[in-house]
Amino acid sequence: MSTQGHTWARQVKKEGEEEDPLDQLISRSGCAASHYAVQECMAAHQDWRQCQPQVQAFRDCMSEQQARRREELQRRKEQGSAHS
């Protein structure tokens, strides 16, 4: 049985191919650059432990984005109930 390991290289979208929903989510979050930094580090080192600064930066970016999203949803909810 052969062990191939992970292929961490970023996949290039082919013409006519739909973008992966996860890639769409990351792109909309504004955290794509830090996500790609994690992918590039993993491709180079193939060891997540060596990529902790990149992983932490991506985690921080996504946490900030989620907090902004929650605030926006709360604001919309409050505006909607004020109009009722």
| pTM for the full predicted model | 0.70
Residue 3's CB: how many other CB atoms inside 10 A?
4
Distance CA 84, CA 79 (A): 9
User: What pLDDT is stored for residue 55 in this prediction?
Assistant: 97
Give the model's confidence band at 7: pLDDT under 50 very low, under 70 low, under 90 confident, else very high: low
pLDDT tens per residue across span 8-40: 555 555 666 778 998 898 999 999 999 999 999
Sign of the CA dihedral running 35, 38, 51, 46: positive
Q: Residue 36: exposed, middle, or buried by beta-carbon count in 10 A (0-12, 13-18, 19+)?
A: middle
